[in-house]
A and B are shown apart, each in its own frame.
Chain A
Amino acid sequence: SQKIEQNSEALNIQEGKTATLTCNYTNYSPAYLQWYRQDPGRGPVFLLLIRENEKEKRKERLKVTFDTTLKQSLFHITASQPADSATYLCALDKGGATNKLIFGTGTLLAVQP
């Protein structure tokens, strides 16, 4: 069956360091992969989208990589700040016209000052 795995344990890092979150998937061939941020008690907010033929995408302090051979995406936040503390969700889209997303369980990131 299709499976999406994100770090189940919280990731604790010091302010200023780079946070790296992983998203691994099996039995799935997504054409696109999206990352969202979710704060407690709120709806997710879109951050980045990467296509299967793109290796890397950047937006300000954020960087996403997509390795279809390893079936893995890495999400990096450089120069992390306490305000970056949240749960980060990856979502797979196999493309076509349905625009349906399959979400991972999310990784809780805590940036310590």
Chain B
Amino acid sequence: DGGITQSPKYLFRKEGQNVTLSCEQNLNHDAMYWYRQDPGQGLRLIYYSQIVNDFQKGDIAEGYSVSREKKESFPLTVTSAQKNPTAFYLCASSPQGVLSYEQYFGPGTRLTVT
């Protein structure tokens, strides 16, 4: 059963703590992405990776970090430097190339920081 998984679905943390969100895919996609979605807003790109051991900042990378040590995995760490971390986080993957490809999204992780 191919797809992209995120865990956990809900996550609660105290302010000042770092937290890592998991994203795994078995679609053999080269590219992976992290987005943040706030109520009434579209998806905003945090980080993306087109190949293992390489990643690029998106539009709102401040306060976040990522790693891409394996093709299948692209974890996102929300650090204490992120001023408004409470949001719905979505991970996606796609083939990589010069054409435009659909992105496959995971179910999302809803992070609440108090």
Contact = CB atoms under 8 A, between A and B. Distances in A.
A42 B58 CA distance: 22
B85 interface: no
A79 interface: no
Contacts of A98: 48, 50, 56
Interface in A33-60: 34, 41-46, 49, 51
Contact of A97 (B45, B92, B98, B108): B98
Interface residues of B, number: 31
User: Which size bracket describes the interface of A in this complex?
Assistant: 20 to 34
Contacts of B33: 100
Contacts of A31: 100
B97 A99 contact: yes
B102 A43 contact: no
A32 interface: yes
Contacts of A99: 31, 50, 94-97, 100-101, 103
